[in-house]
Structure 1
Amino acid sequence: MENNKALLHRITVTGSVQALVIDDDILFAGLDGGLIAAYSLDTFDLVSQVQAHEDSVLGLDLCAQQELLFTTTQHKIAFRDRRCVLRAYSARTSLAFFGAQNGSLSWYRVPEGRNGVPVPETPFSPVARKHRFFDSFGPGGTQDPLQLRGPNGTLKVGGRRHTVHLENYQAYSHKSYVFAMVLAKGLFQHDAEEEVLITGGGGGTIKLWRIEATSSGVLELFKLRNKGLSVLSLAYSGSFLYAGLSGGVVHIYNLSSCQLVHKLRVGQDDVLQTQISCGSVIAGSSGGLLTQFNSQFSEVASWQAHNGKILASYHSHTPSRKILATGGNDNTIAIWDPKDPEATSVAQAVQSDDELLKSLRQFIGYQTVSVDPRHARDCHEAANFLRKLCNAFGATATVLSPAGQEGVSPILLAKFRASAEPEDSKTILFYGHYDVVGAEMSVNAKGRRNWYADPFSLTPLNGFFYGRGVSDNKGPILAALYAVADLVQQSRLSCNVTFLLEGDEEAGSRGFRPTVQQHHDLIGPVNHILLSNSYWLDDHVPCLTFGMRGVVHATVNITSSRQADLHSGMDGKAVQHEPLKDLTVLLSTILGPNGTDITIPGFNGSIDKLTDGESAAYNQIASSLLAGHPEIKSQQEFAQSLMQRWRYPNLTIHQISVPEAKTAVTISRTAQATLSIRIVPSQTAEEVATSLTAHLEKSFAKLHSNNKLEVRITAKADPWLGNPRSPLFQSLRSAIVDVWNPESDDGGRSFPDSASRPPDPSISEIISPVLRPPHRRASTLASSGTFTSANTPHEPLFIREGGSIPAISFLEKEFGADAAMFPMGQASDNAHLDNERIRVENLKKGGAVLKRVFGML
C-alpha cells in the first residue's frame, strides 16, 4: 500500500524510468526510447525534454563545474564495442567511468570546455566496428545493429562522438555484469578529498579502486565477496558502504576495516536501489517496495512505491529540503519526503512547501460535505484542525457557533497582528469556506473510475493536486494561512490579517449573516476584504475578479384544491384550470414572447447603460486572449459574450415538475417550477425578489383560477462590483506581476499541457484509471492555448464573473470596507466536478502573491 504521508508528488512518463539525477531544483529522468526529461521540483511541471539517444538512457550523471549532463545507453561508446550500463564522474580528476555488461571498466577524461575534439568517423573507426557477440546475426540470419543516428541520418541532439583509448580500458574488472558504481571520498586520513571508485558485479564481488590522476588509470585496492549474491546497488555514507544484493539483502561494510558489520533483510525481491537519506537506509526492490531503516538498522517504514521494479533512485538534500526520487517500469517517477515527521518543528513547517502539502493532505481528508448530516463530525474536526494550525502560527483563534442554527458547521475566526503594530495598521479580512460539495467514486461498465483516486485523499500527480476541495476552497485557504505565518515568523507582517472561515457556504451559509452581525465588534474593525474563491478565464493568464452578479432563487408552486389527481379523458374540461397549464402560462409572463427577455415590470430599467470605457475594457480582455486562443474567431463577438455573462441579467428555469403520473392521461393536482434570476450591480436581491413575487401574484390573479399559487424565495444574494483602482486591487496587481513575471529570459512563466496526462493503465493498483471528466470552466475558452512567453500578457486581466458569492456584498456593507477577489485556480480546475484539482505552481505562486500583499499593504 502506498505511504501517502511520504509522497510529495508522482509524475507519469512515456516509458520506464531507467535513471534519475537532481541538479538544484531540476530533476532529470532517463527514459526508455532515449528520452531525457527535465522536471521542476518546485512545481513538478515538465521543463524540457530532448531525444538524446535511440535506445534507453541507462545512466545519468552531472558535472556541475562544466554544466554537463552525462548519459549512458546501449550504444557503442568506446574503443571496444560493448553495452555501457553504469557510470560515475570524478570532478577532481575530470574522469568519467563506465561499467559494462561484459565486466569491463573504462574511463574517459572530459576535456576542458564543452566541445572537446571530435573523432572523425570512418569505416575503420572503433565506433563503426562490429562486435562478435552484440552485432552477430540473430534468428533468421539478419543483423539489427544499434543505431547512433536519428531517423533523418543526423546525430541526436547534443551528440558528439569521443573515443575511449585502449589504455583507458580494463577488461574483466568483474567476472560478470558491472551492476553498481559509486565514487566515495574521505576514506584516507592523509587526503580527505581523495576519491575511491567502488564497483559491484553480478558475480557478488565489490571492488575498491584507487584513481591514479597522473596516469589516468585505476588500481585495485581491495575486494569484498558476497558468495552467491549479485551486487545490484551501492551507496555510501561516511566510512560505511551499503550494498543492495539479490535475494532481498543489504550488506553494510565498514570501509575503514573492510569488514561486514551488519545484514538487513528487506524481503525476497532483489534490492535494485540503495540510498542513504537523513541518517536512514532506504532500499528499493524489484517488487516495487521501499523499505526504510533508521540509524540503528531497525525497520521503520515499508510501502509500495511502484507497481513494478524500482529501476532508478536519487537522493538530494539542501538545508531547506530533502527529497528522494524513485522511478520504475510502471512509467512513473515518485518524489518522497524521507524525513522523520516527528522531527519537524513548527518553525520548519512554516518555511517548507512540503509542510503545506502535509497540511493540505490532512485538510482534504476531512469530508466536510455541509449538506450531508452524516459528515457533521468531519466539519467540526476540520474547524478544529484550522484552529490548532492558526494557534501554532501565532494567531488568536476562536470558533463561533452559527446563531440560531442547529447542526450547522462552526465559523472560525483567527486574528494575526501586524509585526510592528503601528497605530494606523490596516486590517485585511480574508473570507473563505472549508466545506465542499459531495464526491463519490463510481465505476462505469468498462471498469473505469470517475476519480483518479479517493476524492478525499490528496493525490499529487503530474504537477497538480487532486482532491475534493483542493481548489474550492481548502487549497487557497492554506496558501493564505502559510503566507501570513511566514511573515509572522520573519516579523514582516505589515497589516493585521483576520481569517473568517465558514463551513456552510455550499449549503447556503446558514446562520452566517446573523453570526457575523452578532460578533461584529469581535471581528472588526476591517479596512479591506479579500477572497480567493474563483478562477481564471483560461489556464494561462492570471486574473483579478472585481465583479459578480447577484442571484434570486425562487420556487413557484400551483396546487389544486382537489385531494387527488384526475383523468384527462373522464374529467378534463376546456375551461378547467389545471395546475400545470396555469404554471406554463404564468412562466410565460416573465420571459416574453421570444423566451429571452425578462418582462418583470421595472426590471430592465434598473440596468446601467454600457459606457465607452466599459466597452473598451471588454475589448481589451478579448484582445489579450486572442493571441493564445485561435478558437476566438471574432474579438468583438467574444467581448459581447463576456458582457452577456457578466454585466447583463439572466433568468433560467431549472426545472418544471409534477408528481409522478400513474398513467399518461393523469392531470396532476400540483405543479412546481424552480428558477433563478442573475442580477447585476445596479439591482438588489431584495427589490428583485419583491418585484418577482408581486408580478407572479398579479399575473396569476388575472387567470381567475381556482388553484392556489405559492411563491417562495429560497435564496438570494446581492451583486457585487469592486473598484479595480483601490489600494488592495493595485497591491494584488503589482504582486501578480512580480511573482508571475520575474526578470528572466523566459519571463518566468511555464506553459504546461493543462489537460494533463491521464495515468498509464500499468499503474492502476496505485492510481486508478479514470474517465476524462468535462472541465468546469469560467468561460467557453479551451483550457489549453497557444500562448508563449512572448505573447502572454504580463499584466493580470481584470474580469467579472456571472456567478454569485453571497458573502462578498454582505461583508462590504457590514464593515464598510472594499473587497477584492484573487483567483488562484485555472479554468480547468473542475470545481464541483470529478477530479477537482489545482496546479501546484498556481497554489505556490498564489501564496507568494498573498505574502507580498500582506507584507506591503
Structure 2
Amino acid sequence: MPPLIHKWNHSYAILSSVAFPHKKILFAGTHDSKILCFDLSTYNLAKTIQLGDEEEAHTRSSVLCLAKSQDERYLFSAGADSLVRIWSVGELSPNGGVFITELTTLYSLIDIGDIFSIKYLDAHQTIVFGCQNANMMYMSGIMDRLNGKPRCDDVNRLPQRRYDRFFDSNGPGSQGDSARCNSPSPGCYESRKNHTIMEVPLRNTIPYAHNSFIYSIQPLSGANVQLPDAFYQNGLTRASTEFIISGGGDGLSKIWALSMKNKGCADVKLLAEMDNNESVLCQVVQFPFLYCGLNGGFVKIWDLNLDELVATLQSSSKCDIVSISVYEDHIFASHEKGVTKFFKDETFEWLVDDGLVLSTEILRKKCTGSSFLRLAAGGKSGSLTLYNISELVEETHHRGSKINTKISEAANEAQKSKLKLDYQAILDNDNMQETLRELMSFKTVSAFTESQYVIDSRRCASYLQQAFTSLGASCNLLPTGSNDNPLVHALFKGKSKSKPKSKIVWYGHYDIISPGDPSKWTTDPYMLTCENGFLKGRGVTDNKGPLVAAMYSAGSAFLEGTLENDIIFLVEGQEESNSQGFVEAVKKHQNLLGNDVDWILFSNSYWIDEKIPCLNYGLRGVINARVTIWSDAPDRHSGLDGGVHREPTTDLSRVLSKLQDDDGHVLIPGFYAPLGELKAEEEARFKEIIQRADLCESVTLEKLMAKWTKPSLSITNMKVSGPGNSTVIPRSASATISIRVVPEQEVHEIKESLESFVTQSFKRLETPNHFKFQVLNEAEPWLGNPENAVYQILREEIRDAWGIDPLFIREGGSIPQVRFLERTLNASAIQIPCGQSTDNAHLNNEQLRIENWYKMRQILHKAFNRL
C-alpha cells in the first residue's frame, strides 16, 4: 500500500468526488444526500451541504456524480433525485470556512431516473448528463441564462415533488392543471431560496443514447487537448463544436459532436462507436487514448485517432472496475478489493480493508503546490483517503533521510554561494508531515529499559541530529548518562544586520510515555495516522508534533535567508522519566548555550477548550514520594494470625490518615504558610476564561483557582505484598503521595516537611514494623510574566493567525526543567500551547489537530524574528 497522507470517515458511502486543487478543496458526494467539502490545506471538514428540503425527507438524494468548471468557480452535482444542481464556490477563508451557494436546479419534465454521470463543457457553458432511462441530456449557455432570469412559480414541476419514482410517475399534469407552469416554455425559471429553477427543454435530449444506463461522460476537448482536423468534418468547426465520449451498460463507448447554435441549442452527431464487450462503468480521456473501466476487472485502452483497441488489461481480482484515474500512462483502477495500478507490463495491486472503492481522483503537484502526487479514494464504507502515489509513478520522492539529504545540499549551496533557491518544495507542510511520520515511528518510551526501546531512542536522537543538520543547523548529541537518552543540541544562526541579534532557546523532548494496551487505540500508536483533520499517535502532541513545527519554523527561515535571531534547540529524551541526566548535561555543556540567552520558549501543554488559542504562563510543581511499611514476618493468614500482630497495612493507613483532615485540608506543617491572595489582574484573567472558554458547567472560577493556584495532596497508588486475596495479611504495604506545589512554595521545604511529618507519625505508632520514605521525583513550579514583550508578540501573532485574542491560562501539571533553565540561563520562559483540550496526551488515542499544527508553524516563523 502506498503511504497514507490522510483519511476522513463518514457514516455513509462516498459515491463521487471532485478536486478543486487551486482552491485547495476536495468535494465528496455521499449516499446520505450530502456534499462534503474538505480543506486540503488543514484537512478539516470545511462545510457539509445537505441536499433537499429540510422538511421533506423524500427530497433527499444520493450524490452519484460531481463535476466542476475549469476555473473552479462552479460545482455541479447530480444523483438519485433526477436533478442537476449548480453551486457557486468561493475561496477558503483564513479560518477554514468556504462560501458555497446553490445557484440553480435543472430538471426534466420526463422521468429520467438516476443521473449517473455529469460533465461541464466550459467553452459553451454546457452541462451534459447521462441518465438511468438511457437518455443523454444537455443544457447550453447556463451562466448566460442565469443572468437573464425569466421566472415561473411552480416548484411542483421538480420530479422529486411528484412522489412517484422512475417508470411509474404520474408525470406533470396528471394531478391537474395546478401542476403545470402558467407559461410553460423551454428554459423556465423560478426564484426560490435565493436560487432559480431551470427546465431542460425536451429538444435537448438525446433519446436512447445507449441501450442501458449511461455511467460515464468525458469531455474530449479541453485546455490541454488539441484535436486533429479529422474530428472537424461535415461542417463542424473548432469555434462552435464540443466533443464528448459517453459510456454505458451496453458495453459501448460513443464519441459525440455537439455543434452549438443560437439560443442554447445544438446539433448532435454520433461520430464513432467502440465496442468493449463489457459494461462501461467508468472512463478517462488522455488524448489520444481513452481508458475504459469494465465489468470483470478489465481495462481497455483505445486510440481515439484511429478508433482502434490498443490494449486489454485485467486486474488479478477480476472485480468490476468502478472508477479509473490516469497519470502519465499509470492507470489506477478501483474495484471491490481495492486499487490496481497498471503501467506498461507491470501490475501493482493494493487491498483496502474498507471495502469497495467507488471513486478516485488524482491531485497533481503543479495544481496543489504540494510535494507529493496524491490519489483520493472514496469507499463504500464511508472512508475518503488520500494516498501518496509519488513513488508509484516513479517521481522523485523525498521521505525521512531522503528529504534531509536534499535540504542539506541546498543549505550548503546557500551558505557557500548565497544563491536564492526555491526551498518551498522541500519545506512545505507535506514534508514536515513526513518528518513527523519518521519521528513517530521510533518507540522512544524512556521508562522502558528493554533493548528495543533503548536502541529506538538512540536512533531517534540520531534522526533528529540528521534532520536539524539538513535544515541548516549545527547539531550535537550530548550524553546524559550511561543508560539515559542523549540530549540533542542544535543551533540555527541568525543573520540580522539591522538590529542586535536575540538568542532564543527552544526546549522540547522526543521521549514518550508508553501507549499502554494497543487494543484501546483505534490506530497504531507508533504509526502517524492522519484522519478527519487530526494527526494521531503516541507523542504527536506531547511533544513530537510541536517540536517538528518549531524545527521547520526556524529551518525554513534559515534556508530562505530570513532568520534574524539565533535559535537554539535543547531536545531531551528523558522528560517523561524525571529528566534524568538533563541538569548535569546542560551544566557541563553550558558553553554551547552561552551567558546571553534572552528567552526560553516551549510548547508542552494544551488549550483549555477546543476553540480558543491560549498562552500558558504558569505550572504547578510536583513532589512524588513513596511510603513503605513492612514487618519481619512473612505474609500471614487472617484466620490464623489476625489480631495477633501489628499489620503493615493498618500502620500505613494510620500514617496516611494524618496527612489530611476530614475536609481534605493538608496537615503538613507550614504547607499553606507561603500562600497569599490572588492578584486582581490574575483573577480578571480567570474570569475572562470562564466567560469565553467552552467549559463544562461544573468548571467554576473557584475550581480553576484551586487547580492552578492552590497546592494539593493526593494518594495515587497503593500496593501490598502477597496474592492480594481477602484472607492474606500482607507483610508489606506502600503508598505513593503526589503533592502539587505552587510558585509561592519552595519544593525543598515542602519535601523536608513531608518527610519529617510522616516519619514522626510513624514513630508515634510505636510499632515493631519498619518504615521507609523515598522521593521518586520532583519538579519546581513555574510562573511566567504574561505582560512581558514575548507574550505580547505571541499574542499579536496568534491574533493574526487565528483572528481571535488568546486566553492567558495556567495549568495544574508540571514540566520539570523549566525553572532550572530560567535560573541557569538567566532568561524568562514562555509557553505557547499547540494542541486542544481533547488531545488525550498520556491517554489512549492521542491526537493533534492539523490546523493547530500548521498555525503553530506560522506563528513561530514570524515570532522567531520579532523576539
Give the TM-score taking structure 1 as reference length: 0.83
Partner of 2:514: 438
Show the 5 A alignment for 1:758-773.
Answer: none
Call closer, same or farther: CA 1:807–1:156 in 2, change over 3 Å: farther
1 CA distance for matches of 2:458 and 2:736? 32
Q: Secondary structure at the match of 2:144?
A: coil
8 A Cα contact 1:22 1:28, kept in partner: yes
Partner of 1:343: 397
1 CA distance for matches of 2:447 and 2:238? 66
Which residue, 345, 353, 367 being the options, matches 2:443? 367
Call closer, same or farther: CA 1:309–1:703 in 2, change over 3 Å: closer
Give the C-alpha shift of residue 739 in structure 1.
0.5
Partner of 1:696: 758
- Larger RCO (alpha carbons 8 Å, 6+ apart): 1
Partner of 1:409: 485
Give the C-alpha shift of residue 157 in structure 1.
6.8
The residue identity in structure 2 corresponding to 1:165 is: P
8 A Cα contact 1:436 1:506, kept in partner: yes
Call closer, same or farther: CA 1:218–1:244 in 2, change over 3 Å: farther
Give the C-alpha shift of residue 491 in structure 1.
1.6
Partner of 1:725: 787
Q: Secondary structure at the match of 2:684?
A: helix
Show the 5 A alignment for 1:255-654.
Answer: 255-267=304-316, 268-277=318-327, 279-294=328-343, 297-299=344-346, 301-305=348-352, 307-317=354-364, 318=367, 320-321=369-370, 322-340=373-391, 342-344=396-398, 346=407, 347=423, 350-374=426-450, 375-402=453-480, 405-420=481-496, 424-441=500-517, 449-524=519-594, 525-560=596-631, 562-564=632-634, 578-591=647-660, 593-594=661-662, 596-625=664-693, 628-629=694-695, 631-632=696-697, 638-654=700-716
Partner of 1:740: 802
Partner of 1:10: 7
8 A Cα contact 1:117 1:162, kept in partner: no
CA RMSD of aligned residues (A): 3.1
1 CA distance for matches of 2:238 and 2:348? 34
8 A Cα contact 1:187 1:239, kept in partner: no
Partner of 2:288: 239
Q: Deviations over 1:136-177 (max 9, x none)?
A: 69xxxxx9xxx9xxxxxx999776432222321111222322
2 CA distance for matches of 1:397 and 1:32? 53
2 CA distance for matches of 1:280 and 1:451? 40
Are 1:825 and 2:857 matched, yes or no?
Answer: no
Name the % identity: 32
Call closer, same or farther: CA 1:429–1:131 in 2, change over 3 Å: closer
Give the C-alpha shift of residue 371 in structure 1.
1.4
Show the 5 A alignment for 1:673-692.
Answer: 673-692=735-754
Call closer, same or farther: CA 1:489–1:228 in 2, change over 3 Å: same
Give the C-alpha shift of residue 120 in structure 1.
4.9
Aligned residue-pair number: 769
Are 1:208 and 2:255 matched, yes or no?
Answer: yes
Call closer, same or farther: CA 1:124–1:811 in 2, change over 3 Å: closer
2 CA distance for matches of 1:735 and 1:662? 56
Q: Secondary structure at the match of 1:645?
A: helix
8 A Cα contact 1:441 1:454, kept in partner: no
The residue identity in structure 1 corresponding to 2:288 is: S
Partner of 2:50: 51
8 A Cα contact 1:200 1:206, kept in partner: yes
Give the C-alpha shift of residue 559 in structure 1.
3.5
Q: Secondary structure at the match of 1:516?
A: helix
Are 1:660 and 2:750 matched, yes or no?
Answer: no
Give the C-alpha shift of residue 818 in structure 1.
0.8
Which residue, 121, 131, 134 being the options, matches 2:167? 134
Call closer, same or farther: CA 1:488–1:280 in 2, change over 3 Å: farther
2 CA distance for matches of 1:683 and 1:659? 36
Partner of 1:19: 16
Call closer, same or farther: CA 1:461–1:114 in 2, change over 3 Å: farther
Give the C-alpha shift of residue 535 in structure 1.
1.0
8 A Cα contact 1:434 1:502, kept in partner: yes
Structure 2 regions of 5+ residues with no counterpart? Answer: 53-59, 83-106, 180-189, 230-236, 399-405, 408-422
Structure 1 regions of 5+ residues with no counterpart? Answer: 138-142, 148-153, 443-448, 742-793
Q: Deviations over 1:807-839 (max 9, x none)?
A: 111111111111111111111111111111111
Give the C-alpha shift of residue 247 in structure 1.
2.2
Q: Secondary structure at the match of 2:78?
A: strand
Give the C-alpha shift of residue 392 in structure 1.
1.4
8 A Cα contact 1:284 1:310, kept in partner: no
8 A Cα contact 2:153 2:191, kept in partner: no
Which residue, 111, 117, 131 being the options, matches 1:81? 111
Call closer, same or farther: CA 1:365–1:280 in 2, change over 3 Å: farther
2 CA distance for matches of 1:17 and 1:38? 12
Give the C-alpha shift of residue 572 in structure 1.
7.1
Give the C-alpha shift of residue 96 in structure 1.
0.6
Q: Deviations over 1:186-219 (max 9, x none)?
A: 2335798874212122222222222312263254
Q: Deviations over 1:517-566 (max 9, x none)?
A: 11111134422111111111111111111010111111122344x34456
Give the C-alpha shift of residue 92 in structure 1.
1.0
2 CA distance for matches of 1:239 and 1:170? 26
Q: Secondary structure at the match of 2:700?
A: helix
2 CA distance for matches of 1:671 and 1:307? 51
Mean alpha-carbon deviation: is it higher for 344-353 or for 378-387?
344-353
The residue identity in structure 1 corresponding to 2:68 is: L
Mean alpha-carbon deviation: is it higher for 158-167 or for 370-379?
158-167
Call closer, same or farther: CA 1:18–1:119 in 2, change over 3 Å: farther
2 CA distance for matches of 1:101 and 1:667? 79
Call closer, same or farther: CA 1:254–1:729 in 2, change over 3 Å: same
8 A Cα contact 1:72 1:85, kept in partner: yes
8 A Cα contact 1:66 1:114, kept in partner: no
2 CA distance for matches of 1:325 and 1:479? 26
The residue identity in structure 2 corresponding to 1:723 is: N
Give the C-alpha shift of residue 499 in structure 1.
1.5
Give the C-alpha shift of residue 578 in structure 1.
4.6
2 CA distance for matches of 1:125 and 1:584? 77
